[in-house]
Structure 1
């Protein structure tokens, strides 16, 4: 890895790892993160994705020094980075059909919190800190943060976090349901990888369908008959996979199933 690398992609044994090396997102970091996430989404061999930051921070959102220069040069165009970078990054995360585990070693605020919530499972260090941050600099939100907070917490709690912008710790994030697990500060990366590898060994097609079903239900606007039909279609398709047939055979034989993602 070059010392100037801001984000990188690697894949080994069915696990794709996307790692951010800078806590604040300048243009280079955004472009390299987007490229890495698109590689993860396009991979035909990755069975899970692990998204990591550093011990210091998962991600604190926009690099404000770069943003200040952009405002000085073109106040009206400075925020076009949302359409150019942040929206594509979130959509690339959404396009990943396999489970996405997010390891949070430090701060996850602003757009960084939005990116963390775009994952499926979040493992946080006890020292991790969270916050929406946007109103503190006179903005609302981007990176899908408001919508995900409403889906996770409901309107009242999401409004509190968005308007007050209070920074809170990992234990409160766990109580709110924003993270899945809190571990010791020296164990977050190892535990996140362990969870990701557990998922990589699971039924990939079933995970993809489960992710789609949860998202469909969370978005709302669809009636129960439509959701039931989606579930029925998924079960018929998944019921014909080797993973399902093999798992049922393993259950009846009282042995552990082995999933091969097909």
Structure 2
């Protein structure tokens, strides 16, 4: 695939999407959204891809929307409808990542601001460079956090911290984000690449269908009561128990050897 705003590569059963507008801090444009849709569709359709890594080129992860690009969509009456832009681009992106039945790792190599922070929070495992920071910048221009930020942030960091970030618009260093439980791990800048690569390798060689079911269960838990969640666990465990990877896992455990999962 030939892209202009992202780099898309596959290797060793994993795909990498690198946001590639470093001169604009990898901020979103309509063109980038179109390329991200194509890349995510390719990952979802290819059974040989068992994990996805998202990161940024240059010194930023993603600065959110590029405000210098074309203006918000019209509401048909001469007014701006930023909500339509969310409906067309941002919401499908976030839902696509959450619903992808494969693990998604975000390697946050620099600032993750606005919808760029939302993008990071939509991943399953987030590792960040020590110099990186997270920022809910929306209040600084009179807007509301979007692309799932008002969903993810209170659940990950708690309502008090979510309100502080959203209302004050202050930077949150990666180390503090780790202490808050907002991300999985903060590492030295020069260790980010190898740390992310190790995570991706582990997940890409894991029991892919089972990992996808774990994602589904965790996502559903955010809206389920206990009875609903127990019922879902029963269904998913039934399905996981019928996979070839489960059979291999048990055989390997009994044989005291590492399992060789095929993602089936």
TM exceeding 0.5: yes
Q: Does 1:145 align with 2:149?
A: yes
Q: Is the 8 A contact 1:41 1:92 kept in 2?
A: no
Q: Is the 8 A contact 2:73 2:85 kept in 1?
A: no
Correspondence list, 1:14-163, <5 A: 14-22=13-21, 23-66=26-69, 75-77=79-81, 80-163=84-167
- 2 CA distance for matches of 1:38 and 1:189? 25
Deviations 1:40-83 (A, max 9, x none): 22222211111111241110101011156979xx6424553211
Q: TM-score, normalised by structure 1?
A: 0.91
Q: TM-score, normalised by structure 2?
A: 0.91
Counterpart position of 1:254: 256
Q: Is the 8 A contact 1:129 1:170 kept in 2?
A: yes
- Go from structure 1 to structure 2 and tell me whether the alpha carbon gap of 1:150 and 1:252 turns closer, same or farther (over 3 Å shift): same
Q: Does 1:5 align with 2:7?
A: no
Counterpart position of 1:213: 217
> Which segment drifts farther, 185-194 or 81-90?
185-194
The 3-state SS of whatever aligns with 1:130 is: strand
Counterpart position of 1:232: 234
> Which segment drifts farther, 244-253 or 35-44?
35-44
- 2 CA distance for matches of 1:63 and 1:80? 16
Counterpart position of 1:245: 247
- 2 CA distance for matches of 1:226 and 1:6? 42
- Go from structure 1 to structure 2 and tell me whether the alpha carbon gap of 1:78 and 1:145 turns closer, same or farther (over 3 Å shift): closer
Counterpart position of 1:173: 177
The 3-state SS of whatever aligns with 2:68 is: helix
Task: Quote how far apart the aligned CAs of 1:188 are.
Answer: 1.3
- 2 CA distance for matches of 1:168 and 1:162? 11
The 3-state SS of whatever aligns with 2:69 is: helix
Match of 1:185 among 170, 186, 189: 189
Aligned residues: 257
After the TM superposition, list the runs of 4 or more consecutive aligned residues in structure 1 that deviate by more than 4 angstroms.
67-71
Q: Is the 8 A contact 2:114 2:136 kept in 1?
A: yes
Q: Is the 8 A contact 2:72 2:85 kept in 1?
A: no
Q: Which runs of 5+ in 1 are unaligned?
A: none
Q: Is the 8 A contact 1:41 1:96 kept in 2?
A: yes
